[in-house]
């Protein structure tokens, strides 16, 4: 069985965003408390706006880290007789039996599968080149085997 994740975010980047986001929020809150205790200076250039900026940046970093954790679950996987998809466009796990695929059309970042009862379009725009190449090779194999059966 081969599994390829659609969004590849290294775990180190996710940790980086969450840890630095937490550090920015903590320092922003401490600076904001200090600014309120001393009287908040509202001048733009010499004021205490950096505390608000640090807090907002921390929130943005944490949101980005959590989002990267959330999108790690999408994948495309296959074995000898089945293709399983869990993609962001449908957000429903799908299973396609390879023998039910009638025709495969491979485009630059899309693969169109003509099944017996419907057509399934797979968008590959979020994949890295190595993974994109691996998936395309699998579908080229499938397309050649379908053409041999028809001939």
pLDDT in tens, 24-82: 999 999 999 999 998 888 887 778 888 899 999 999 999 999 998 888 888 999 888 89
Burial profile 104-127: b = 16 or more Cβ within 10 angstroms, e = fewer: beeeeeebebeeeeeeeebebebb
CATH architecture type of domain 74-150: Roll (2.30)
For the chain, what are the domain ranges? 2-72, 74-150
Identify the three-state secondary structure at position 99.
Answer: helix
Is the pTM value of this prediction over 0.85?
Answer: no
């Amino acid at each position: 069985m081969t599994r390829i994740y659609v969004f590849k975010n290294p775990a180190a980047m996710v940790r980086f965003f969450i840890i630095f986001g937490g550090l920015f929020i903590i320092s922003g809150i401490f600076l904001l408390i200090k600014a309120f205790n001393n009287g908040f200076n509202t001048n733009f250039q010499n004021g205490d706006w950096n505390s608000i900026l640090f807090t907002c940046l921390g929130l943005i970093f944490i949101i980005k880290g959590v989002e990267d954790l959330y999108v790690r679950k999408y994948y495309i996987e296959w074995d000898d007789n089945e293709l399983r998809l869990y993609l962001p466009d449908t957000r429903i796990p799908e299973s396609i039996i390879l023998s039910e695929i009638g025709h495969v059309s491979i485009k630059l970042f899309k693969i169109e599968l003509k099944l017996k009862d419907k057509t399934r379009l797979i968008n590959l725009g979020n994949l890295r080149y190595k993974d994109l190449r691996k998936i395309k090779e699998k579908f080229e194999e499938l397309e050649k085997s379908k053409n041999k059966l028809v001939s």
